[in-house]
Structure 1
Amino acid sequence: MNLAADVTVPTAATLRLRPAGADGAAPAGAPDRRLAIDADFHRGGTWAGVADLAELAWRELGERGRDDLIDAHNPELHMALARHRERIALKYACLTETAHDAERTRNFPLDRAYRLVHGLVGLMLDWKRALAPQQRWQVVAFGYDHAQHLASRFFAELARRGAAHGIEVIVYSALDTDALAQRAPGLHAQAASDAGAAPPAPAALDDAAYAALQPRLERGEPLAWEIHAPALIVYHRGRGEDALAARAALRALCLSNHYGYYHESASFADTVLAHFEDMVGDDEDARWNYIGNIFQGLVSAGRQELALELILTRAEPHLRRRELRAKMNYLLSMIHLRYARTPDLALAEHYILLAAQDIAAARGAIQDADQTFLRVFIDNGLAFLRVRQGRPREALALCQEGYALLTRELGDDRHALHRSVLQYNTAQVYVMLDRAEDALAYYRKSMEMDPYYSEYYNESGNLLQRQGRFEEALALYELAVRYSAPYPEVHFNRGVCQSQTGDWEAALDSFALSLELNPQQPEIHQIRAEIHEQSGDADAALADYDAAIALAADSVAARVNRAVLHYGRGDYAHALADMDRAIALDPDNPEHYENRAEIHKSMRREELYRHDLDRAEACRAAA
């Protein structure tokens, strides 16, 4: 949730890709196609280099008439190709994307940006499969050491997922091999000092271009700022205009925060803070707006202590108006409740109650509609605290009373996003109270108000699945997939549901998709192993148990199941090793000793066999 107002801003990209052999002749052993890009965040913004690849894919797929693939990657193309955003309308825009200013009361989770990364990698794979499945492609990223968080993540994911499709990723970096391997194991490095066939640098902004751009910037055109902010920051710094560079950085920071690019947003914080006091002066609204944006980037990037210090030193001593202090105290509550490494519920309660007092005292000093909304917003934060305190019925009352008050005083049209959030929060509390039908009813209300928010469908699908309503759950999972860039959780949940219905082939496909997006999921390997066992494929089952245990060595269930499989294949030594480990991890389970006793029996170890049976009886007696 974000009480800071929106400010709009930047990212730039010029198509600078070149095919293999751009000088006429490719060297021996060269790839079939070489794509050289500039990944420097300071020149290209959040998607530096990545946007160049996405634009070329978009153009070439369009030339081949592959509108189906362009459509499949709509969210990530819409976001990465700022220069063409007016031509790539977002098909399924949720309220978090369309709400502005005070109406926008929910920030994107950082995970949403990671979904865009997954989608952009998927675009690369689909592009290559459609155009040249047998070719070897090489993506060469110059300026890699100056790539920001999301672009770096893209290159790592492309290296991992692209290897099986003939895509190699080479980065020009000053990092040594070990350091680069720790960051992204699949990347191949070239020395940063080796210029190679680098793409041409983007044209610098000169005085004439700046003068031509200025009217659009003064009008606050979002796309103008998004596209040109990196060049503007460089332009002003080159002229020694550090204060103007800081203002451009502030625009970039706020827009990055708006889009959920929080590491990118946080990267501008020091530049902005160096000139912060001069920029805001005595304007309390500007002070709070900008601090709120800086705060969100810092906490999401793991810099909670600096974010708290920012509130206490740059906001608290300067804010006098009660409604702004209410927003500040709300945020201080959330620091201690949501963002602190060790939550402090007492401090969170102290600040949220101060916020409630402040907004009550602001009545008459601000418009009634604003006071009503802020009261409900703060009460929603209090509801979250009550849930964490184990007081769900109080949380439920706060959500429902807040929704009724907003509707009664402001009507059905204003604050649609926050009203949908209140319905969603009510659904979550009903889940805690084990009132599934009530929870589902409120999930449906949330969907009616915000029909393209993927999480509503995923979570309500999970609830239906727990009730054994598998077909209904699967229908919601399909909508969750449709309304979002890819994320592994929904494919995992769908796979579990499909396995419950006995549709093992579909389940395996869903699990494969989930693992492609996130290979660190031992539970998927375990479920797949069980499916393979039931279908009679012992080799595939064993491979998945091996993978599960490689990822989670202390999984008792995987150890026991693999032991049973080894035992059935007559491999008693490996079965015994797994049961020894299972017993070490879970020593009070009598069934483990009975399983190990059977192994000893098959190995003709009579004394150990009887000893384990005795231990099983002792466990049962102790229970």
Structure 2
Amino acid sequence: MTRSSHLRINAPRRAARRSAFAAAGLPEPVSCHQRLRGPYSGVAPMLRAVVPEAYRRWPGLVDAHRIVLLYTVPELAEVIGQAPPSLVDDTPHEERTRYFGASLIRATSQGVITFLQEHARQLAGAAGAPGPVLTLAFDDADQAEPTEQEFLALLLRRADPEQLRIAVGTAAEPALPELAEALRHWTRPLPLPPLPVPPVEDPAAGEGGAAPRRSTEELARAHVWSEGTGDDPEELAGYAAAEPRLRARLHDERADELEAGADRGVLLGALPYHRERGSDPGGAGRRALRTALEISVAVGYSTATIDLGHRGRAVCDPELHQLDYCHFSAKAASALVPIGEPEECEAIYTELRRRYTLPRVQMTCSYALAILYTRFFRPPDHEKALELANNARALAELETDPVLGPVYQVFQDNGLALIEMRRGHLDRSLRLVSDGIRRLDAELPGDRYLVHRTQLLHNRARVLVALGRIEEALADYAKLLAWDPAFVEYHTDRAALLRRQGDLPGALADYDRAIAVSAPLPELFYNRANLRDQLGDVAGALADLRYVLEMEPAETEARLNLTALLLELGEPGEAAELAAAGLQLRPEEPRLLCTAGSAAHALGEFDQARQAFDRALAVDAAFGPALVNRAVLSYEQGELDSAIGDLTAALELTGDDPDVLHNRGVALQEAGRHAEAVRDYGRALELPGADRAELLRRRAWCLTALGRAEAAEADLRACLDLGPGPDTAQLEQLLERLAADRSPLLSGPGSEGA
């Protein structure tokens, strides 16, 4: 630990943990047990407590984070108002064909944490004097759904305990390694106070004696009413000892009680838990799990979708509940992809293909497997994907419904278009999506399947870009953004296209809008930082890159770009710290090692710089930048042969490069090897991006040293023709001297760095 710590309370019993929370003067913790409210069991009640005060005191802060707050807890709309509308939100469930995944949920958690940090800072600033920091307390973290475990891990790492202190209670080590590591690194343990010894129970005791022992039914009821989260040994034993019919009845009663006022959290957590353990798991349990599954899929809770899908499969009779069994299976399978489990996804779809002859099931599975083969398997197998997609397209022809028929067929054509694009058959891909757009426009009412239509148009825009038909692609993106301005990918795709076309302000405006309508996806800030840097907004670029690293320290590209900017700005100390922090995460990353060497070089720590360059080359002997930077260091220390050797090795790796040739020419010139230097300067002058003025000036010195006065005079004239520079007067004097007597020069240029 390198700063003031957050707190952890570890004890197998909840009573002991709660006693420790109280003894330390901490607030009553919220329980994160996933059986209560699903993925955000603890976060939701925490935000319900925090957000109203924040909105009352600084509504602008809440407005700035409205999207992530409402995505996490929709019921906050009663306090802060609705989120901006989006096409997906307004689409009927049965027509939705766009879903989100794990990366968006992680970004949403990051946005909520940013809000909490700023809220805590505002509170500290409003106090006017040091006071108690904002403290958030969570319990049952080891029983939290993986989404919330991830949230807690991010919160512990990012929150400054001097302003936002976090206390976390656990009964065991969390299953998520990221949270287990965060607890070890960012928290310190709190001692457990002794629990009071309970009085000995006497069933015959009268008034003033110990409470009578509870019956089995009372104990079981208490456990059920805890939503199955209780850890009282007697209640657990009573629940286990109760007759199965009694347990089922209790679960039914609790579910009935919860159902009337159930919000999203209850629908995801407690309600399906009780229904699948009640008297009708295959009926009421199946329906409750299906409801929870639809919510989870729509929001993008990948791990919860997998869990609910498997639980739904378990309560289904595969023959009596064929459609539900397939639905639970397919949604669980699809959710396995964003968490990096495509093989398990394939196994579920393959099982469905073996089990059922239903055309729609076979169609759906063939399509899903085709997308796996073309997009997610490594290496991809586009030919196998095409085989499966053709099968799906043929099965779609069997649908006779006048609306579903064209929808299914065009959907399969869209999948074929993706495969053909990846096979390099761009014209066929464009024809498939364009025909699909025309067909839906002709055969469907204008207000049906709007999301699907936007997906077709989006895919057409991408194919048009690949074909180089930029103006048509831009026209499609304009339609998409008018149709659904809240979908971030349209903004980012158009931004990339505008950037390619040289419209940097237009691209920046699209990234700004993407950030305004989205959770803080790191790639948005990374790309905007690059644009800001190109446009001269160095402060903005620094802010964006720092935010990326605050959210995701392992984002190496952002770290490298930030350190490069800092080195350009003359801030090698901070660059060195950033490189060192990156190497803690990736100790064998040659680019970070090279950056650490450059920062040490700028700080005058030459031995450390050389060690860093040597380590980078030990990891990757073909890493050119380390060779070049080590050569610069060697040149400055007078080790010319070493510098020339490293630059020669770099050129052998990369081929002719104007800067490397320039640097080797300088080293050769300093070593008195003027003829070789002239060759390097000449080769560099033939390449785009070369510093022509400096190369001509240096070659003139070398040519003079070789007695080639006329050639030197020509280089000097060419250099002066490029325009005035800091040494124009000196060059003019030298040119006059050469022209007068073509006498050799007595001295060369100063020993500028390579």
Q: TM-score range by the shorter chain?
A: 0.7 to 0.9
State the Cα deviation string for residues 592-619 of structure 1 (Å, max 9, x = none): 6565445334445466456556656877
Cα distance, 1:51 vs structure 2: 0.4
- Letter matched to residue 332 of structure 2: I
In 2, Cα distance between the equivalents of 1:622 and 1:63?
63
Is 1:57 the counterpart of 2:80 in the alignment?
Answer: no
CA shift in 2, pair 1:194/1:605, >3 Å: same
In 2, Cα distance between the equivalents of 1:589 and 1:596?
11
In 2, Cα distance between the equivalents of 1:518 and 1:590?
27
Cα distance, 1:139 vs structure 2: 3.0
- Letter matched to residue 39 of structure 1: C
In 2, Cα distance between the equivalents of 1:236 and 1:597?
70
Residue 443 of structure 1 aligns to a residue in which SS?
helix
Q: 2:61 aligns with which of 69, 76, 88?
A: 69
Q: 1:97 aligns with which of 69, 72, 89?
A: 89
Cα distance, 1:464 vs structure 2: 2.1
Task: Look up the match of 2:703.
Answer: none
Task: Look up the match of 1:231.
Answer: 270
Residue 169 of structure 2 aligns to a residue in which SS?
strand
CA shift in 2, pair 1:192/1:445, >3 Å: farther
Task: Look up the match of 1:276.
Answer: 316
Residue 166 of structure 2 aligns to a residue in which SS?
strand
Cα distance, 1:231 vs structure 2: 2.8
Contact in 1 for aligned 2:37/2:265 (Cα 8 Å): no
State the Cα deviation string for residues 555-586 of structure 1 (Å, max 9, x = none): 55555555455445443322322333454566
Contact in 2 for aligned 1:416/1:449 (Cα 8 Å): no
In 1, Cα distance between the equivalents of 2:647 and 2:450?
64
- Letter matched to residue 382 of structure 2: L
Q: Which stretch shifts more, 528-537 or 297-306?
A: 297-306
Q: Which stretch shifts more, 298-307 or 97-106?
A: 298-307
What does 1:291-370 correspond to in 2, within 5 Å? 291-314=329-352, 316-320=354-358, 322-340=359-377, 343-362=380-399, 366-370=400-404
Cα distance, 1:355 vs structure 2: 1.0
- Letter matched to residue 360 of structure 1: E
In 2, Cα distance between the equivalents of 1:467 and 1:559?
35
Task: Look up the match of 1:113.
Answer: 105
Q: 2:164 aligns with which of 163, 166, 188?
A: 166
- Letter matched to residue 120 of structure 1: V
Provide the TM-score with structure 1 as the length reference.
Answer: 0.82
Contact in 2 for aligned 1:47/1:150 (Cα 8 Å): yes
Residue 277 of structure 1 aligns to a residue in which SS?
coil
- Letter matched to residue 295 of structure 2: L
State the Cα deviation string for residues 266-319 of structure 1 (Å, max 9, x = none): 1123332222116x61x6544544433333334444454444333333455334
CA shift in 2, pair 1:612/1:115, >3 Å: closer
Task: Look up the match of 1:11.
Answer: none
Contact in 1 for aligned 2:434/2:460 (Cα 8 Å): yes
Q: Flag structure 1 segments of 5+ consecutive residues without an equivalent.
A: 1-21, 218-222
Residue 40 of structure 2 aligns to a residue in which SS?
coil
| Structure (1 or 2) with the larger CA radius of gyration | 2
Q: 1:461 aligns with which of 495, 503, 509?
A: 495
In 2, Cα distance between the equivalents of 1:230 and 1:302?
25
Cα distance, 1:545 vs structure 2: 4.0
CA shift in 2, pair 1:169/1:526, >3 Å: same
CA shift in 2, pair 1:183/1:371, >3 Å: farther
Residue 268 of structure 1 aligns to a residue in which SS?
helix
Residue 477 of structure 2 aligns to a residue in which SS?
helix
Cα distance, 1:399 vs structure 2: 1.6
Residue 29 of structure 2 aligns to a residue in which SS?
strand
Is 1:151 the counterpart of 2:148 in the alignment?
Answer: yes
In 2, Cα distance between the equivalents of 1:622 and 1:417?
50
Is 1:499 the counterpart of 2:559 in the alignment?
Answer: no
Residue 518 of structure 2 aligns to a residue in which SS?
coil
Is 1:489 the counterpart of 2:488 in the alignment?
Answer: no
Cα distance, 1:501 vs structure 2: 1.2
- Letter matched to residue 59 of structure 1: P
Contact in 2 for aligned 1:464/1:473 (Cα 8 Å): yes
Task: Look up the match of 2:31.
Answer: 38
Task: Look up the match of 1:395.
Answer: 429
In 2, Cα distance between the equivalents of 1:268 and 1:36?
27
Cα distance, 1:53 vs structure 2: 0.8
Cα distance, 1:368 vs structure 2: 2.3
Cα distance, 1:591 vs structure 2: 7.8
Cα distance, 1:154 vs structure 2: 1.0
What does 1:227-266 correspond to in 2, within 5 Å? 227-228=266-267, 230-236=269-275, 239=278, 241-243=280-282, 244-266=284-306
Residue 520 of structure 1 aligns to a residue in which SS?
coil
Cα distance, 1:155 vs structure 2: 0.6
- Letter matched to residue 401 of structure 1: D
Q: Which stretch shifts more, 565-574 or 549-558?
A: 549-558
Task: Look up the match of 1:47.
Answer: 40
In 1, Cα distance between the equivalents of 2:623 and 2:252?
77
Cα distance, 1:43 vs structure 2: 1.8
In 2, Cα distance between the equivalents of 1:339 and 1:168?
38
Residue 96 of structure 1 aligns to a residue in which SS?
coil
In 2, Cα distance between the equivalents of 1:600 and 1:262?
53
Residue 169 of structure 1 aligns to a residue in which SS?
strand
In 1, Cα distance between the equivalents of 2:66 and 2:108?
10
- Letter matched to residue 522 of structure 2: P
Q: Which stretch shifts more, 70-79 or 182-191?
A: 182-191
Cα RMSD over matched residues?
A: 3.8
In 2, Cα distance between the equivalents of 1:150 and 1:296?
17
State the Cα deviation string for residues 12-48 of structure 1 (Å, max 9, x = none): xxxxxxxxxx99x975xx46x5351100001222210
In 2, Cα distance between the equivalents of 1:301 and 1:386?
26
CA shift in 2, pair 1:235/1:433, >3 Å: same
Residue 253 of structure 1 aligns to a residue in which SS?
helix
In 2, Cα distance between the equivalents of 1:146 and 1:427?
45
Higher RCO (CA < 8 A, seq sep 6+): 1
Q: 2:406 aligns with which of 358, 369, 372?
A: 372
Is 1:425 the counterpart of 2:459 in the alignment?
Answer: yes
In 2, Cα distance between the equivalents of 1:277 and 1:178?
32
In 1, Cα distance between the equivalents of 2:383 and 2:571?
55
- Letter matched to residue 56 of structure 1: A
In 2, Cα distance between the equivalents of 1:331 and 1:559?
42
Identity across the alignment (%)? 24
In 1, Cα distance between the equivalents of 2:168 and 2:442?
59
Contact in 1 for aligned 2:628/2:646 (Cα 8 Å): yes
Is 1:479 the counterpart of 2:513 in the alignment?
Answer: yes
CA shift in 2, pair 1:196/1:435, >3 Å: farther
Cα distance, 1:352 vs structure 2: 0.6
In 2, Cα distance between the equivalents of 1:316 and 1:307?
15
Q: Which stretch shifts more, 55-64 or 232-241?
A: 232-241
In 2, Cα distance between the equivalents of 1:589 and 1:522?
16
Cα distance, 1:483 vs structure 2: 0.7
Contact in 2 for aligned 1:125/1:162 (Cα 8 Å): yes
